[in-house]
Structure 1
Amino acid sequence: MFHICVMQDVGQNGEPEASKISPLASEKIIPIVCRMTRKPTGELRRGWTTGACATAATKAALQALWGGETPKTVTIELPRGECPKFDVAHSAYGKGWAEVGIIKDAGDDPDVTHGALIISRVCMGDDGIEFRAGEGVGTVTKAGLPLAIGEAAINPKPREMMRNIVLEQCSAFNTSPNVQIEISIPNGAEIAKKTWNGRLGIIGGLSVLGTTGIVRPFSCAAWIASIHRGIDVARAEGVVHVAGCTGATSEKVVQELYGLPEFAMLDMGDFAGGMLKYLRKNPIANVTIGGGIGKMAKLAQGAVDLHSARSQVDFAHLNQWCPVDVSQANTTLEAYQLAGPELAQAIADHARQAVERQLGGAQIAIDTVVIDRAGTVLARSADE
């Protein structure tokens, strides 16, 4: 599931740290944008996905269309049995159609679609239940996603939830299930510019997402799922070389170094393990891993989650790769300044070897690129 833009912290190597993203669960179109950089203290409040909001809006719109009155609140049952209540924030109707809008509440998750108005417009159709992309909802233009090219970017689970609502309301109002559902998100096209949708071939707006209907604050599942979808799209496009980088600077360097297309750039961030595990089962011929020297040192030492809160460079271990003593260095960059190119090359080599171990014998050619804050390449390592 997904839309994503990332508000970033700065890591010890000077490159942006990838911050956490909302858990639009393990769906397959794209993750979400951050509206804060720090995890709040105390118990976190969960929220509701765009798919849940679209389903609630669809139920209320059908009641307005067939019952002649728009409810003030609407309750739906989510896939795991929860029954949240939603307030109706917008309603309109005309001859043969009705629409309702629900304001998305993502709880305490850093989800850029928090506060967005999710609108469902319904009208009678001719052939079963049809889904359409309205204003601010994207259209699929590349293979590799769970929807056909040309389809509205409304993911399979939200479609299933809305179909169930149509059947439920058809039974209540004794009418046939021939319904067109158009989902729109005002300003969605602008929000989507801050997401990875364009990279995955979803053009014109956001995706309607949500496997469970629930946004669990500060889950990393959505980010990792979006990396997986990036790999799927690259494979479907016949790409033979992809790259995963730790931040924007290293991504720019690596993309220019190899002349890679945008959709070959996987938004790895801190989640090296999530990317490599998926590549092990879904290999691509050539994979480049790029990053600042601090994060690449952590990868070289075996870390697969490179966030500063979850892994640290072991300078005693790093010292074994140096011609001089760097055990008292405060940062990897300081250690590099003391030890020089030999350390950078050791980090690139050991990082490549660590990646090869993670890939578990998959037939993938690996190379690594280590950069400094300014984007200067300090070292590279490739399979012989």
Structure 2
Amino acid sequence: MDSDENEIRSEKPATALRRGWTTGACATAATKAALTALLTGEFPDPVVITLPKGEQPGFALARESLDEKTAMAAIIKDAGDDPDVTHGAMVIARIQRLAQGQGIVFKAGDGVGTVTRAGLPVPVGEPAINPVPRRMMTETVTALCQHHGISPDIEIEVSIENGAELALQTWNPRLGILGGLSVLGTTGIVHPFSCAAWIHSIHRGIDVARAEGFPHVLGATGSSSEKTAQNFHGLSDLACLDMGDFAGGLLKYLRAHPVPRLTIAGGFAKMTKLAQGAMDLHSGRSQVDMAWLAEKAGELGADRELTDQILAANTALEALELTGAAGLDLPEIIGKAARNAVLDVLRGAPVSVDVMVTDRAGTLLAHAV
């Protein structure tokens, strides 16, 4: 889901939860429609894009305009049944060609934020368009330009109608993303968020694992860490529980319905929150305690200057980079503390536990056994 843009909507789905599309997918579709029109004079409607996992959804255009130099297309974001503040927002892409050699340039239009603080996956000064949406738009533009025999020198300006106002309901201002929302998404798909339904599915996954006699299950916070841990341990897909942010929901059920071995895997920030005792790892309901991280860095030998830098850090990623540059293995101490937190919740249940800490790309940073 667009995890930094969540707000519970008032309506409640009466049937099975319906998935939707991320802001990144909408921006990519709008970009493709606008660039196609700029090159051919016609807007594709619906416009079909290819998502990172191969799905090819079609998006209807809400607005379009074309002149000799620019093209604009807009799409209404449908977040499905996810409680997402951007549900129903208009995502707009305005495209213009640049001089040869300038490449693909991203620009923050109205309602899209600009990064002003370090520790985020996008450099300071850049539009708050995350890496995967950037890649999706870049690949789309490159393919279209190649097809039409021109160099991919294109400016992509992404806007979100009323985005500045909507961003006040998110964590963006606190993170130093100013002026609007972030363009987010790693798969292009928003999976509907329902605490009860999600935790229920975790419980059913444990039930299946026990019924099949699996000796080892995996709970991961996301797809990158899941893939790393699954490959490391050679686990089948059925052994992978869709834990997401709900570590507590998984652990409490395992306490009463144990499986011989459990691996918990996740990114550094989520595992830091778990290490601090948080059992709901969602960004809207638990935060990394920088004072605690600074204390742990001090235990590893960090000097006063470094601990002060950690205290002032914007994100856990920034703290990780600071300690890594100083040669301190903060992930190892986080992994051990997270494992202890897991064992505390399991309360002596016959479950052997290991914790794997990864970076955003899924690279293993620490393994606590």
TM-score, with length taken from structure 2: 0.56
Aligned-residue sequence identity (percent) comes to 48
Q: 1:302 aligns with which of 332, 345, 351?
A: 345
Counterpart of 1:40 in structure 2: which amino acid? Answer: P
User: Hey, what's the Cα distance between the residues in 2 that align with 1:188 and 1:74?
Assistant: 23
Change in Cα spacing, 1:37 to 1:89, as seen in structure 2 (3 Å) is closer
In the TM superposition, residue 84 of structure 1 has moved relative to its aligned partner by 0.6
Instruction: State the match for 1:204 in structure 2.
Output: 179
Relative to structure 1, the CA distance from residue 32 to residue 229 in structure 2 (aligned partners, 3 Å threshold; closer, same or farther) is: farther
- Contact 2:175–2:315, Cα closer than 8 Å, also in 1: no
Structure 2 counterpart of 1:183, which letter?
V
2:157 aligned partner: 182
* Equivalent residue for 1:92, pick from 65, 68, 71: 65
**Partner Cα distance (2:119, 2:107) in 1:** 20
Which of residues 12, 16, 21 is equivalent to 1:48? 21
Alpha carbons 2:118, 2:314 under 8 Å: kept: no
Deviation (angstroms), 1:165: 0.9
The 1:261–1:92 alpha-carbon spacing in structure 2 relative to 1, beyond 3 Å, is same
**1:302 aligned partner, one-letter code:** V
Return the alpha-carbon distance in structure 2 between the equivalents of residues 186 and 282 of structure 1: 43
Distance 2:113 2:131 in 1: 14
* Superposition deviation, residue 265 in structure 1: 10
Return the match for 1:122 from 75, 95, 104: 95
Instruction: Tell me what 2:257 maps to.
Output: none
Q: CA deviation at 1:282?
A: 7.0
Structure 2: how far apart are the matches of 1:153 and 1:62?
21
Specify the alignment match of 1:214 in structure 2.
189
Conserved 8 A contact 1:280-1:359: no
Deviation at 1:60, TM superposition (A): 0.4
- The one of 86, 90, 93 aligned to 1:113: 86
The structure-2 alpha-carbon separation of the partners of 1:95 and 1:283, relative to structure 1 and needing over 3 Å to count, comes to: farther
**Cross-structure match for 1:165:** 140
1:264, CA displacement in angstroms?
7.5
Measure how far apart 1:94 and its partner are: 2.9
Letter matched to residue 134 of structure 2: R
Paired position in structure 2 for 1:149: 124
Equivalent residues in 2 for 1:324-343 (5 A)?
none
- After superposition, the Cα gap between the structure-2 partners of 1:261 and 1:70, relative to the gap in structure 1 and judged at 3 Å, is same
Q: Which residue of 1 aligns with 2:253?
A: none
Tell me, yes or no, if the aligned pair for 2:82 and 2:193 is still in contact at 8 Å.
yes
Which TM-score applies when normalising by structure 1?
A: 0.54
> How far apart are residue 229 of structure 1 and its match?
8.7
Task: Tell me, yes or no, if the aligned pair for 2:7 and 2:169 is still in contact at 8 Å.
Answer: no
C-alpha separation between the residues in 2 aligned to 1:230 and 1:280?
9
Q: Contact between 2:73 and 2:92, CA under 8 Å: does it hold in 1?
A: yes
Amino acid aligned to 1:86: F
- Counterpart Cα distance in 2 of 1:251 and 1:52: 27
Query: Using the alignment, how far apart are the partners of 2:190 and 2:9 within structure 1?
Result: 16
**Residue of structure 1 in register with 2:48 after alignment:** 75
Query: Could you tell me how far 1:203 is from its partner in structure 2?
Result: 1.2
Residue 367 (structure 1) aligns with: none
Q: Secondary structure at the match of 2:47?
A: strand
Matched, 1:281 2:256: no
Secondary structure of 2:181's counterpart equals coil
> How far off its partner does 1:35 sit?
3.3
Question: CA RMSD, aligned part only?
Answer: 4.5
C-alpha distance in 2, partners of 1:261/1:359?
A: 31
> Structure 1 residues 230 and 74, CA, compared in 2 at 3 Å: closer, same or farther?
same
- Partner letter of residue 180 of structure 1? E
Is the contact made by 1:200 and 1:230 (CA closer than 8 Å) also made in structure 2? no
1:74–1:86 Cα contact (<8 Å) kept: yes
Q: In structure 1, what is the Cα distance between the partners aligned to 2:130 and 2:160?
A: 15
Out of 35, 38, 41, the residue aligned to residue 62 of structure 1 is 35
Deviation at 1:231, TM superposition (A): 4.5
Contact 1:92–1:98 (CA under 8 A) maintained in structure 2:
yes
Structure-1 separation of matches of 2:103 and 2:16: 44
TM-fit CA distance, 1:32:
2.1
Give runs of ≥4 in structure 1 deviating > 4 Å: 219-225, 228-232, 242-247, 260-266, 298-301
Higher relative contact order (CA 8 A, sep 6+): 1
**How many residue pairs are counted as aligned between the two chains?**
252
Contact 1:90 1:102 in 2 (8 A): yes
Instruction: Point out the structure with the larger helix share.
Output: 2
CA offset digits 1:16-58 (Å, max 9, x no partner): xxxxxxx23xxxxx52222336863432111111010000000
Give me the whole-angstrom Cα distance separating, in 2, the residues matched to 1:230 and 1:138: 24
Change (3 A) 1:95 1:194: same
